[in-house]
Structure 1
Amino acid sequence: MIRIIIAEDQKLLRGTLSSLLSMEDDIEVVAEAENGKVAWEVIRQHQPDVCLLDIEIPFISGLEIAEKLRQEGCSAKIIIVTTFARPGYLQKAMALKVDGYLLKDEPIDFLINAIRKVMAGERVISTDLAAVLFLKEENPLTERETEVLRLSRLGLSTMEIAKQLFLTNGTVRNYLSLAIQKLGVETRQQATEKAYEQGWIS
């Protein structure tokens, strides 16, 4: 029996997945989680064979959970599910050696087969996601530029970013200007959106 936990913040989708997977003779859904904190708790509690993780669940993302599991040497198979084919996310997932990386709009049979394949030691990636690997754009931003854009996307002003990062307002403006230039856009908002779409900030 393949024991699975499902971490997905959309209640309807989570319930549907649980019901459909539970209909399989060799699959048992041992727990569900609506956010990353709950997911981490139930993974520790149930020690599942497979962790089915939405990439953008609240509090702790699916990728962050995957990273924590890898650091702890957890033997559970990890399948990440996502709505968008963001190259940066895919690169992070591949670096973490997740066992599956699937789009949410795949047929349920594809997911079921993917679960069985990863249990057999295979890696499964949705075709559309695999194509993104060949189109990936390298992140041109420095760590500090990335952090400034991340805080900007959260709605912080230049002054608030400067205070949080212990920088001057001028230094923050310089980082934003460099990021805008490197990303080939015209505004701070366009820079944050492009970095987000590429998966370089969350």
Structure 2
Amino acid sequence: MIRILLAERAPLLRGALVAFFGGVKDLDVVGAIDSGEQVLRTALYRRPDVALIDIGLPGLDGFATARELREELPECRTVLMTSRCRTGDLRRAAAARAAGLVLKDTSPSELVDAIRRVATGERVVDPDLAFSELGSAESPLTEREIEVLSLASRGASAAQIAEDLFLTIGTVRNHLSRINRKVGARNRIHAIRIAEEAGWL
């Protein structure tokens, strides 16, 4: 039996997946949650074999959640789900050490197959996502700069970013200035838009 932790923001899809997996004899959903902050706590308690995580979770996004889960519970394999092909997603999934990346509109049988393969130690990537990655530009940003910009994209102030990342406000401002220079942005908002369109966020 493969124990699954499901983290999906949309209640309708989350409920549909729980119902669907309930009819598959070798799959058992041990938790179904709607935010990244709940994933690690639930995983440590429920001990799933596979975590199926929406990359667009509110708060802590799927990539950050996958990275945290990999560090704290390495025996749990993560499959990330996305609703569209976006350049950079595959690179970010690999950086988070996820075992799989699939589109939400994949067929039910393909999703079950991906979960089973990941549970046995394989890696699974949707072909459309792999091809979209071939034409993507390499991010010029460091992992820390991406963390800073990701928090900024969710409306965090320099002070809030400093508090969340245990940095000084001056260091955060330096990071934001460096990000603007690297991506050729006029300001923080412009940098966020450039990074999102390139798939770096």
* Alignment partner, residue 76 of structure 1: 76
Q: CA distance change for structure 1 residues 134 and 16 in 2, over 3 Å: closer, same or farther?
A: same
Three-state SS of the structure 2 residue aligned to 1:102 is strand
Q: Distance in 2 between matches of 1:158 and 1:120?
A: 43
Moved more, 25-34 or 37-46: 37-46
Moved more, 39-48 or 180-189: 180-189
One-letter amino acid of the structure 1 residue matched with residue 36 of structure 2:
G
* Alignment partner, residue 99 of structure 2: 99
Aligned-pair identity (%): 37
Q: CA distance change for structure 1 residues 44 and 175 in 2, over 3 Å: closer, same or farther?
A: closer
Q: How does 1:111-150 map to 2 (within 5 A)?
A: 111-141=111-141, 149-150=149-150
* Alignment partner, residue 51 of structure 1: 51
TM-score by length of 2: 0.79
Three-state SS of the structure 2 residue aligned to 1:79 is strand
Shift of 1:148: 6.7
Aligned: 1:166 with 2:169: yes
Deviations 1:14-49 (A, max 9, x none): 000111111111111111001112222221111011
Length, aligned pairs only:
197
Aligned Cα RMSD in Å? Answer: 3.2
Shift of 1:10: 0.5
Aligned: 1:65 with 2:65: yes
Q: How does 1:79-90 map to 2 (within 5 A)?
A: 79-90=79-90
* Alignment partner, residue 12 of structure 2: 12
Q: CA distance change for structure 1 residues 157 and 35 in 2, over 3 Å: closer, same or farther?
A: closer
Q: CA distance change for structure 1 residues 115 and 165 in 2, over 3 Å: closer, same or farther?
A: same
Aligned: 1:39 with 2:42: no
Q: CA distance change for structure 1 residues 20 and 72 in 2, over 3 Å: closer, same or farther?
A: same
Q: CA distance change for structure 1 residues 199 and 167 in 2, over 3 Å: closer, same or farther?
A: same
Three-state SS of the structure 1 residue aligned to 2:56 is coil
> Does the CA-based 8 Å contact 1:144-1:175 persist in structure 2?
no
Q: Distance in 2 between matches of 1:58 and 1:117?
A: 28
TM-score by length of 1: 0.79
Q: Distance in 1 between matches of 2:161 and 2:42?
A: 35
Moved more, 143-152 or 27-36: 143-152
For structure 1, list consecutive stretches of 5 or more residues without a partner in the other structure.
Answer: none
Task: Please tell me whether Structure 1 or Structure 2 has the larger radius of gyration of its CA atoms.
Answer: 1
Q: Distance in 1 between matches of 2:147 and 2:63?
A: 18
Segments of 4+ in structure 1 off by > 6 A? 156-162
Deviations 1:133-166 (A, max 9, x none): 322211124678657755653457899999x963
* Alignment partner, residue 26 of structure 1: 26
